[in-house]
């Protein structure tokens, strides 16, 4: 099997992130619209975040600040225990999700909060005491730094979508100044975990 985009080339017996026989990948196929092409990095982020949140058995406040990854919202809602009082936040109410009754029902069931700007989303999400999980696009560096400052004193996680493989050195230095370790992944994305 082969995969290639402008920044990454993979040749392997199997590339799991594209195998729709796997649960998260099948849900990506179900909820991501055909005109929103996802790279290996994008799909890997969705698989990773969904897997992590599936194993957290406490209420979370989940914020998506990257419109290209909107399809993760119904995926996470679908995988979380319905008895947990999660909160969902999005930087846009014009969701890039394949239109379906299931997607609509999942989103309506959690009544997500929508914001025009990521900084507004951050102001709201950090008012609660739940475990915060945020996804950003690397281009939103100011909001990423604001979120890192907030996480320096509480539990939570950040995943950074970096589809153009931009340099993450400034974010790494910012994290080190806060005594936080930024995990820079080989696919160009980055993660930060505070447990």
Q: In the chain, where are the structural domains located?
A: 2-194
Six-digit token pair at 2? 């082969």
pLDDT at 148: 98
pLDDT at 34: 94
pLDDT at 2: 86
Q: Which fold has domain 2-194?
A: Rossmann fold (3.40.50)
Greater confidence (11 vs 191) lies with 191
What percent of the chain has a predicted confidence (pLDDT) above 90? 85
Give residue-wise pLDDT tens across range 20-66: 889 999 999 999 999 999 999 999 999 999 999 999 999 999 999 99
> Does the pLDDT value for residue 179 go beyond 80?
yes
| Mean model confidence pLDDT for the chain | 95
Q: How many CB atoms lie within 10 A of CB 127?
A: 8
Task: Give residue 164's pLDDT band: very low, low, confident or very high (50, 70, 90).
Answer: very high
97 neighbors 33 (Cβ within 8 angstroms): yes
What percent of the chain has a predicted confidence (pLDDT) above 70? 100
Q: Identify which of 79, 71, 76, 90 has the alpha carbon closest to the alpha carbon of residue 30.
A: 71
Give residue-wise pLDDT tens across range 83-128: 899 999 999 988 999 989 999 999 999 999 999 999 999 999 999 9
């Amino acid at each position: 099997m082969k995969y290639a985009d402008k920044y990454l080339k993979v040749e392997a017996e199997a590339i799991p992130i594209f195998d729709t026989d796997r649960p998260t990948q099948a849900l990506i196929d179900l909820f991501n619209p055909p005109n929103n092409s996802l790279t290996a990095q994008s799909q890997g982020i969705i698989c990773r975040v969904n897997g992590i949140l599936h194993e957290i058995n406490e209420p979370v406040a989940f914020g998506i600040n990257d419109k290209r990854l909107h399809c993760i919202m119904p995926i996470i809602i679908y995988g979380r225990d319905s008895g947990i009082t999660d909160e969902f936040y999005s930087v846009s109410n014009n969701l890039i999700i394949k239109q379906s009754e299931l997607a609509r029902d999942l989103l309506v069931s959690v009544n997500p909060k929508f914001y025009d700007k990521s900084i507004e989303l951050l102001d709201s999400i950090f008012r609660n005491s739940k475990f915060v999980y945020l996804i950003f696009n690397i281009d939103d560096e100011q909001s990423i730094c604001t979120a890192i400052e907030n996480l320096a004193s509480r539990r939570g996680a950040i995943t950074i979508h970096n589809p153009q493989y931009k340099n993450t050195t400034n974010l790494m230095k910012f994290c080190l100044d806060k005594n936080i370790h930024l995990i820079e992944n080989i696919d160009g994305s980055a993660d930060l975990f505070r447990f």
